[in-house]
Amino acid sequence: MLMRFDILTIFPEFFGALPNQGIVGHGVVSRALRSGVASAHIHDLRCFTHDRHRTVDDRPFGGGEGMVLKPQPIYEALESLSLLPRSQRPGSGQAVILLSAQGRRFTQSTARRLATLQRVVLLCGRYEGVDERVAEMLCDEELSIGDYVLSGGELAAAVLLDATVRLLPGVLGHADSSLYESFGEGEANPTVPVPAPAPAPAPAQAAPAPHGDGWTSEETGPKPNPEPSPGVPRSTHAASGILDYPHYTRPAEFLGRSVPDVLAGGDHLAIRRWRRQAALAKTLANRPDLLLTAELSEDDRKYLASLGYTGDAEAAGHAHSR
């Protein structure tokens, strides 16, 4: 199924008007567009104005600093995309999203929800904001990518576009790449099932060893990655609501700092345990708020307690920021 993105902006060049320009010309977004999994269409809001100055903004009623995006060009842009009225959109697999500092926080779960839709329209706010009637009458939801103010919604739209398309089937090098990372969904089966006995395969010429331990790249696709031995935990561990564990690659020593010995030891259980604890420690240091809602085992809680975590995310955050 092709997923379509429409981006409404007064700076279409930001997204790349020519091949290999802007976000649509690079990385996983470019791969998704080239492979036909998704399409992106950039629309200049100034094309929907009717004065010689192509005016898209005006002064706010009631006074105040800055300018506000007018509703009429946005209305006509959505009308040209056959996306009016809003009342006919719910349940249709489409969503019109206003990107602004006043919106709900955009999260990984939001990206997963958007990735199930057929069409997403991203309206890039600008100046002091957008006429509120746009949010009330024309948009399905209002999203913000963080607790800070940007000059416009273009950067936010780029973030949302990248975070969403990488979840579409076939975009990443490995189907499970989006599961075993920060904010991942978790894994239903933490170990590889033990298969029924099978005849021994005929001798074959030895193949080159894979690069690292199941190393993959979002840019170049998967490298050889044999399944772990049956009955042992997978070498990766799903985030299950916390941050991803630290990653290391060659060289084994860099600027006098060595890779943790456990990662080179070949003990899958020890690796899994180390990665889980390292992920918990990183989450405690950088995002202790996530621990309040994360799926934590009794062992997880004991390890966090050994690091001084008492269940108070705010206190933990202050302690680790000193």
pLDDT at 39 over 90: yes
Residues across the chain:
322
- What is the distance, to the nearest Å, from the Cα of residue 194 to the centroid of all Cα atoms in its chain? 33
pLDDT one-digit tens code per residue, 101-134: 999 999 999 999 999 999 999 999 998 899 999 9
Residues 6+ apart with CB under 8 A from 264: 252
Strands 3-9 vs 119-124: parallel, antiparallel or unpaired:
parallel
Backbone phi, psi, residue 274, to 5°: -60, -45
Residue 313 has a pLDDT of: 63
pLDDT at 58 over 70: yes
Residue 272 has a pLDDT of: 94
Structure tokens, 156? 């936010």
Residues 6+ apart with CB under 8 A from 190: 233, 234, 237
Structure tokens, 153? 């919604």
- Is 230-321 CATH 3.30.200.20? no
Phi-psi region at 232: left, alpha or beta (left = phi > 0; alpha = psi -120 to 50): beta
DSSP letters spanning 137-150: HT-SEEEESSSS--
**What are the extents of the domains in the chain?**
3-165, 230-321
Structure tokens, 37? 């999994």
Higher pLDDT, 219 or 28: 28
Residue 281 has a pLDDT of: 96
pLDDT one-digit tens code per residue, 260-278: 999 999 999 999 999 999 9
Structure tokens, 103? 């919106």
pLDDT at 227 over 80: no
Burial of 155 (0-12, 13-18, 19+ CB in 10 A): middle
Higher pLDDT, 88 or 199: 88
Band of residue 91 on the pLDDT scale cut at 50, 70, 90: low
DSSP letters spanning 119-139: EEEEEE-BTT-B-HHHHHHT-
pLDDT one-digit tens code per residue, 181-215: 555 555 544 444 444 444 444 444 444 433 333 33
* Torsion sign across C-alpha atoms 86, 92, 96, 101: positive
Instruction: Give 3-state DSSP helix, strand, coil % of the chain, rounded to 5.
Output: 30, 15, 50
Q: Which of the 8 DSSP states describes residue 213?
A: T
Q: Are 81 and 89 in contact (CB under 8 A)?
A: no
This prediction's pTM? 0.76
SS3 label, residue 67:
coil
Residue 88 has a pLDDT of: 74
Residue 314 has a pLDDT of: 63
Average pLDDT, the chain: 81
- Is 3-165 CATH 3.40.1280.10? yes
Mean pLDDT computed over 122-148: 94
pLDDT at 236 over 80: no
Residue 84 has a pLDDT of: 80
